[in-house]
Amino acid sequence: MIRWSDALAQCQKSDTAHVLVTVIGTAGSVPRNSGTKMLVTADELFDTIGGGNLELHAVEQARELINEQITGQRLVKYPLAAVLGQCCGGHATLLFESFCQTSQTLWLFGAGHVGSALVKILNELPLNVHWVDTRAEQFPKDIDPAIQCHHPDDPTDVFTQINPNAILLIMTHSHDQDYRICEQALSQQHQGFIGLIGSKTKAARFRHRLRHAGLSQTAIDAIESPVGLSEIGGKRPMEVAVSIAARIIQCYQSNSESLAEKAALSSPDLAEISQQLTRKPDDLN
């Protein structure tokens, strides 16, 4: 059996939605002690909180959170006899910690001067970075293994792997490739941030072509171009990279604040967790 801790690391690395379920309080006879954990994904279960109806209901609750794409915490009390029909007859309080957006994923198209400068900054940020270029020789030999490199024949081929909420940064060596990536993203109704490098003239031409291709103005307006913070000047690759990185930080910080508001436990829930955890020392499993 794969331990919940190993599965958690795998889920975070692969950006797989998951729910960590923890027994944080018990009374009477229960299948497992406080501190016991299991990890639930959409189609797998790792470790156990004791089996039976308690675990069955917990898995169902966890998968509801995943299906509804809810990131946050939820506290649920289970009377084992009255509600679940388990003969042990005790009470268990479970904490569900749902991570439907485990980390912000970013796809960087282009391994030119700006892309190479930018990836050095992105690698230091809390991002799951994918780097795409059709020219395999463009990637540096000493690149950090955490950066996932792709060199497809056509850059749009990777869209089968892209989460619809991922950040897209488009800066290839070819305007034609840039345009096709933009068109593909909009055609697939991409929901995440889309940034396109270039001048205002390039942006205007792309918008005109996208309208001519039948895409809606609302969809086209989702592309931020030129991408980056205008107040950060300079045209050197690293200066441009800093400007774009600053904009990306704004983007994911804004998303994090929004998620934190949705995920926040109420004061009664926090008080309950505190009471359960201080009632007796945890038997961590």
DSSP 8-state class, residue 15: T
pLDDT (0 to 100) of residue 104: 83
pLDDT (0 to 100) of residue 256: 57
Domain boundary among 102, 121, 154: 102
Strands 194-196 and 223-224: parallel
pLDDT (0 to 100) of residue 81: 54
| Position 173 pLDDT exceeds 60 | yes
Task: Give the closest residue to 96 by CA, choosing from 63, 68, 67.
Answer: 63
152 φ, ψ to 5°? -75, 165
- Name residues whose C-beta falls within 8 Å of residue 60's C-beta, 6 or more positions apart in sequence: none
pLDDT tens per residue, range 209-235: 999 999 999 999 999 999 999 899 899
Unique residue bearing structure tokens 């109420």: 266
Distance (Å, whole) CA 37 – CA 24: 9
| Position 283 pLDDT exceeds 80 | no
224 lies in the same domain as 114 = yes
- Residue 281 falls inside a structural domain: no
User: pLDDT over 90 for what percent of the chain?
Assistant: 61
Instruction: pLDDT band for 88, please (50, 70, 90 cuts).
Output: low
| Position 83 pLDDT exceeds 60 | no
Unique residue bearing structure tokens 């059709």: 134
- Name residues whose C-beta falls within 8 Å of residue 135's C-beta, 6 or more positions apart in sequence: 111, 151, 173
Task: Give the closest residue to 126 by CA, choosing from 109, 143, 103.
Answer: 103
pTM summary value: 0.65
Domain boundary among 33, 67, 102: 102
236: domain CATH number is 3.40.50.720
- Residue 223 falls inside a structural domain: yes
220 lies in the same domain as 201 = yes
